[in-house]
A and B are shown apart, each in its own frame.
Chain A
Amino acid sequence: QVQLQEAGPGLVKSSETLSLTCTVSGGSISNHYWSWIRQPAGKGLEWIGRVHSNGLTNYNPSLRTRVAMSIDTSKNEISLSLHSVTAADIAVYFCARATIGASVYFDPWGQGTLVTVSS
């Protein structure tokens, strides 16, 4: 079955750029939307944005000025960049596939990767 694995530095300096990748295995990256979702410790889930296999992106308005996503179908890889990070960006970052049925839901998810911001 499809599996997702996030990777990237666990520590980013304040004001710098957080960069993560998500590698998809066991299935095709094509013809799907792929989302990034984050979760601060002990808190709820925040949708960051999505990228389609054709490169189309949509971002959460709350993060739009700082976020960029891209996709490399040759590597089965999705990327997230979040610029000018602060302590408010400390969270576990998940990638997930948007499954389109009668509703759009996220399945499967990666295991998540913790990103900490240092001052």
Chain B
Amino acid sequence: DIQMTQSPASLSASVGDRVTITCRASQNIRKYLNWYQQRPGEAPHVLISAVSTLETGVPSRFSGSGSGTEFTLTINSLQPEDFATYYCQQSFSTVPYTFGQGTKLEIK
């Protein structure tokens, strides 16, 4: 299985801050990397696919970058609704698809 490791596991920030979350893959996954946001009590929803493609309706303050084994999700000018848990997911290897362990973004 391809292991996905996110850092940090948790992060405290304030409204208006810029934050970056890192996701590392245990092997080269090229650009087969997606990011999800999950608020408490809700299902995850996709923010970014294929490293950097913003999904419909996702604010432009979200951006993604990287390739190979290291990827980042950046959120500029944090808004109150951004405080949630974020997951990366690889689709280079389909069986199984794997997720990072999550990064919980909390209000400072």
Contact = CB atoms under 8 A, between A and B. Distances in A.
A44 B87 contact: yes
A45 B55 contact: no
B49 A101 contact: yes
Interface in B27-53: 31-34, 36, 42-46, 49-51, 53
B72 interface: no
Chain A interface SS verdict (over half): strand
Contacts, number: 72
A49 B97 CA distance: 9
Q: How large is the interface on B (under 10, 10 to 19, 20 to 34, 35 or more residues)?
A: 20 to 34
Given A45-B99, A61-B95, A106 B89 contact: yes
Given A61-B95, A61-B96, A109-B43, A44 B50 contact: no
Q: Which of B1, B55, B97 has the most CB of A within 10 A?
A: B97
A99 to B, nearest CB: 8
B95 A101 contact: no
A44 B101 contact: yes
A102 B50 contact: yes
Nearest to B91: A104
B103 to A, nearest CB: 10
Interface string B72-108: 0000000000000001010100111111111000000
A102 B53 contact: yes
Q: Which of B89, B96, B101 has the most CB of A within 10 A?
A: B96
Interface of A: 35, 43-47, 49, 58-62, 94, 96, 99, 101-112
10 contacts: A45-B44, A47-B98, A96-B43, A101-B50, A102-B50, A103-B51, A103-B91, A105-B49, A105-B91, A106-B34
6 A-B pairs with the lowest CB-CB distances in the bound complex, closest first: A102-B50, A104-B91, A109-B43, A103-B50, A105-B34, A60-B96
Interface of B: 1, 31-34, 36, 42-46, 49-51, 53, 55, 87, 89, 91, 94-102
